[in-house]
Amino acid sequence: MAKPDNRADNVEHLQQSIQNTQQNLNEAEGYLNEFSSEISSEERNQIEEKNERRKESIKGFREEIKDEAEHSQE
């Protein structure tokens, strides 16, 4: 039998995911700023592409939080 849908801590988990993803994004940007002259253009592109995906993930997490807020009011 399936577990009932417990959404009580979803927002908390989503907020933690945003914080973790933002931290990774900031660390990667710091790495690029510090070592840009020492890394290959391929590595730089990979990091920049990953950061774009991180930004999209953060946007998605925020949309999910909004969705959770709407469902909690029902």
pLDDT value of residue 70: 83
Longest Cα–Cα distance in the chain: 57
Instruction: Indicate whether 56 belongs to any domain.
Output: yes
Rounded CA gap, 56 and 74, in Å? Answer: 28
pLDDT value of residue 40: 97
Whole-structure pTM value:
0.83
pLDDT over 90 percentage in the chain: 76
- Contact assessment for residue 68 and residue 7, using Cβ atoms and an 8 Å cutoff: yes
Instruction: Indicate whether 31 belongs to any domain.
Output: no
Mean pLDDT, rounded, of the chain: 91
Q: How many domains does the chain have?
A: 1
Give the Å distances, CA to CA, from 20 to 1, 5, 29: 33, 25, 14
Six token digits for residue 68: 């959770």
Instruction: Indicate whether 57 belongs to any domain.
Output: yes
